Structure 1
Amino acid sequence: MYDNTCCSDFQSAVDEYLIRHRSVLDILTKYQEASARVNRAIAKAVTECGCIQVAAARQAVPENTSYSELKDHMSSHLVGEPCPQCQEVIAKELGHSMFYLAALCNLTGLSLHKVMQQEHSNVKMLGVFHLS
């Protein structure tokens, strides 16, 4: 499943190196900002680099499609793959987002590893109804 050592080491490093923004309000707003930067990095891959395109349209689902077959007909609306430079930027921004997620776990006394395990269990147990 998930490596507890990796998660706990990361969470410990975040706790050790998060100096200035220890207030829950600082961390919440930094987490939101980091999430916005992920969105921006993907948008820039489309609008500035052009390595990926968004071809969004209404999802076309054939009649008589069962719920279990629905995934086969749903589109991500992405065309192409991010180039190495855009992948690097997106990964960096996702890392910052994970940093502040770990910081929130630290402040609330939660284990990032346990949160991931619980969410994994929920996804496996609830399957397609997980986010309904």
Structure 2
Amino acid sequence: MKDILIDDFQYTAQELLVRNKSILDLITKFQDSNSRVNRAIIKSVTQCGCLTISAHKQDIPEDASFDEMKSSADAHVGGTLCENCRDAVERDMGRNVFYLASLCNALDLNLYDIILKENDRIRMLGKYNLR
């Protein structure tokens, strides 16, 4: 079912993309949509205040095990997105995924296959694939 949903989304993106079919346009639109995601998240902190960010150096002991490292790392995010901010972030993330699917179409790649391969890679490498 999930593969059908992703394939359908990629097909729909291909059908609806008219003005920005050039790979150059797609790359810049993808980058622009990514910056809009960042901006929507930042606005939830600076304008709305539903989120807070308290960034500091991650305090992970040198001799920590993988599980200890995982549990001691912090996302630095406090609060939860309000309904308005959630809508803005989701809309901008959706646009970002649209342009990702469009890039896949331009390069004759299948987004679902890419997700499967990356999932296999990260599962196979497990904790050795730290990002």
> TM above 0.5, one fold?
yes
Aligned to 1:85: 84
Distance 1:86 1:96 in 2: 15
Gaps of 5+ in 1: none
Gaps of 5+ in 2: none
The superposition leaves residues 13-68 of structure 1 with CA deviations (integer Å, 9 ceiling, x where unpaired) of 00000000000000000000000000000000000000000000111124532133
Distance 2:102 2:130 in 1: 25
Two-structure CA RMSD over aligned residues (Å):
1.3
Q: TM-score, structure 1 length as denominator? A: 0.94
Distance 2:128 2:63 in 1: 20
The superposition leaves residues 81-122 of structure 1 with CA deviations (integer Å, 9 ceiling, x where unpaired) of 111111110000000000000001001111111001001111
Distance 2:113 2:33 in 1: 22
In the TM superposition, residue 4 of structure 1 has moved relative to its aligned partner by 1.1
Any idea what SS the aligned residue of 1:64 has?
Answer: coil
Q: How does 1:17-28 map to 2 (within 5 A)?
A: 17-28=16-27
After the TM superposition, which segments of 4 or more aligned residues of structure 1 sit over 4 Å from their partners?
none
